[in-house]
A and B are shown apart, each in its own frame.
Chain A
Amino acid sequence: MARRSVSRGVPGWWSIPRRSFLRGGAAMIGLPILDIMGPSLKRAQAAGAPPPRRFVTFGIPAGVNTAAWKPTGTGTGYTLSSTLMPLAPLKNDVSILMGVNNNPANGPRGHTCGIGAFLTCFKIPMTDPGVTESISADQVAANYLKQFTKLPSIELTTRILHETPNAESGFSPAYKNVVSWTNATTSLPFEEVPLNAFNRLFGTSTTTIPAGNSTAATKQAMYRKSVLDSVAADIAAIAARGSAADQAKMDQYLTSLRQLETEITTNPPPSPSSCMPGTPPPAGRPSDMNIQAHVKQMLDIMVMAMQCDATRVLTFYYENTVTSIVHSFLNVNVDYHGSVTHHNNDPQKLAWYATVNNWQVSQLAYLLTQMKAIQEPDGTLLDNSVVFFSSEISDGNSHSHSDLPIVLAGRGGGMLTPGRAIQFQNANVSQLFISMLATVGVSVKSFGDGTSPLPGI
């Protein structure tokens, strides 16, 4: 097997597991070897195509117990804190960044302004119901990386926030329940149902195409495209007569249509024999009692999405910025936002806070471990990624946005040097995003309130 030599003997996607290989055998007969190895490798091997680089963000709500979070010392010889202890086996793959602020998050509403600036570093204006945002860092990456994959990006959560009337007076609720923005007014909604995310990444269209019937598949794709052509004409007719606001919506419509059209016409779903997503997760949104399984399903889907090269930009946000989830499995039997993160320096609440933070970090460790286990031609999947783990708030009681808790993981294809605790003086998250974007091949001079990269990471 040619692939074995590439994989340097380490099991992983690039060396297709033998069992999968046998299972997919029937469909593979007669296909050239490259066709069964997946689109990513093919592209990577094509002249001039860059090797896959991934941009991952992992958000946790409402800050951390900052005292329990802070590591001791700096540089490579630092000591992990109790909260960060789950990262011990990955210490050489992560850096702990301190003294990094998100100043545009400062505003009259800690959660709303924080989440509004979380990935955008944009100070949202007090508008309601309309919104004025700015493109988020993940979407800057997606604008470039989408040419290589089925989907430009995915945005996953375990709980979509749905607040309507007067939830945060003065600010539209539309600011608070998303983190990814493609432009000033278009946000990308979260997916909270694992099966939906799974089908979106790995499924085919709802139209049943007989297995192996490429003629039927081709015809179906042609029909779908014809429908989209007709719809595009309707969009244009409305846009021609609408106001600026109407035209903006028709722009959203046409952009969405074009994205699906691209998917239909140029990026067939990964062949089952090259990408084995495994058993789909159960239907529906897991109950609160199954929050651990819910998180694991989402993280597994993310790893598989990267392994299959279905997308290179992945955002996961645990719950939402004001979640009331009760972490019974950690013996924290009160709601998280109201009775834990608003700790009032109550020692019991601070202890609960640290307990939950520790578990959240263990989920990051799980994600990183899975990424590290996948060998690619030029390193592990984790080596070829940059992972940003943080919150929109530093301390949940003060709702401050300074000195945010940040774990930066992965080597960004060799552009990052993890394994350290780094103390900055008044650095900005926006600078970090500029640096992170560089690792995926996107060169920007400024982003948000940042005008230079973050040095020394």
Chain B
Amino acid sequence: MNANHPAIPVPYVDAAQRARAGQLGMWTFLATEVLFFGGLITSYVVMRVTYPAAFAAGSRHLSFAIGTTNTLVLLTSSLTMVWAVALAGAARRRAAIACLVATGILGALFLALKSSEYHDKFVEHLVPGNAFRLPAGDPPALQIFLFLYFALTGLHALHMLVGIALVGWMVVRLGRTPAPPPDNAPELVGLYWHFVDCVWVFLYPLLYLVTPS
């Protein structure tokens, strides 16, 4: 503990410095995430240029309706997240908690829809690996498209799970009595949530909109 400011842990000298560190830490972390997804998206681009027909066919095997609904669900969850951060900053705890709960529910809805899509692929034997059955008339590289589909959306879903856990943690934290001193933790969770949304904004056209027909 710091002698001058008992509430501020080492190594910080004051709350503003601590908040700055948290912010920069989160932005730096998100930069590593960009590169992490970037490696996979690069693989996607190279393979798509190599097998344009297979990627168009693969895109047609995905459910355009579910993908589009999920995009709307996630964009709405970002809206509720923005409200939650603003309300938490204005010390309106109950309203902030309501918005966070809404964010979490929308996130869970996204994952539920995603799971049903995954389920369909299992049933149709379109999961890459030993059980994969190439549908008649499709090029063999369809499997590569589906592999990248599962890798990208699976990694994204993993990030969604972490995001929902963080939102739950924020709800618990804001619900505590007596109220903890306000800090920038909701803002940091918000940054992460929006990032995961942004990833989906890239994945949706890459995977679902290869052929607009």
A, B bound: no
Q: Interface on A for B, CB 8 Å cutoff?
A: none
Binding site for A on B (CB under 8 A): none
